[in-house]
Amino acid sequence: MKNMKLVIAFLVVALVGAGVAGGAVWWMSKKNPKEASASAAAETEKVPETGKKSRRYLTVEKVIVMLKRSPTDTESHYLSTDLVVTTTEEQEKHCKDHLPLLRSIAVRALSSYPMEKAQTMTVEQITEQLNRAFDAEYASEKAEKPFSEVMLGKLIIE
């Protein structure tokens, strides 16, 4: 008798579950086929195409250098910038290990400018010069750069 009640309980649960599953299938098939394909396309767009190669951005904050003075200039002039480095997920840790080197290269490159030249340069020109300096340094070391490019996050020339 006890076993019979247990079997009936399992049958009731199975029938209710099958009914819910059948209702769900019916409800989903009721959708317009165009809507279904549009929602499937939207879901595939959410997944990044690059997979693990998604971009990561690291910041090298507060790179401050004293600019060269002209012989007649008595005031000191400074350039302050925050750099943003573009890397991949795989190279992120390696790039973080290189942040002190990146700061050093940036200081070396930016401190060579006289105030007059720094004031007339555009953000794009400064970014281009920095990227050239990084390319040259890594080429001279015969090492692979752990990032693709360096951008300026902030620039102050005083």
What are the residue boundaries of the structural domains of the chain, listed by start? 2-46, 51-157
Alpha helix segments (H runs only) across 47-148: 92-97, 99-110, 115-120, 123-140
DSSP reduced 3-state for 61: strand
Q: What is the pTM (predicted TM-score) of this model?
A: 0.61
Rounded to whole angstroms, the Cα distance separating 115 from 67 reads 6
User: The domain 51-157 belongs to what CATH superfamily?
Assistant: Band 7 domain (3.30.479.30)
pLDDT in tens for each of the 158 residues of the chain?
A: 767 777 777 767 777 777 777 776 666 676 655 555 555 554 444 434 444 468 889 888 898 898 887 777 778 888 899 999 999 988 889 889 989 999 999 999 998 888 888 888 899 999 999 999 999 999 998 888 888 889 998 988 88
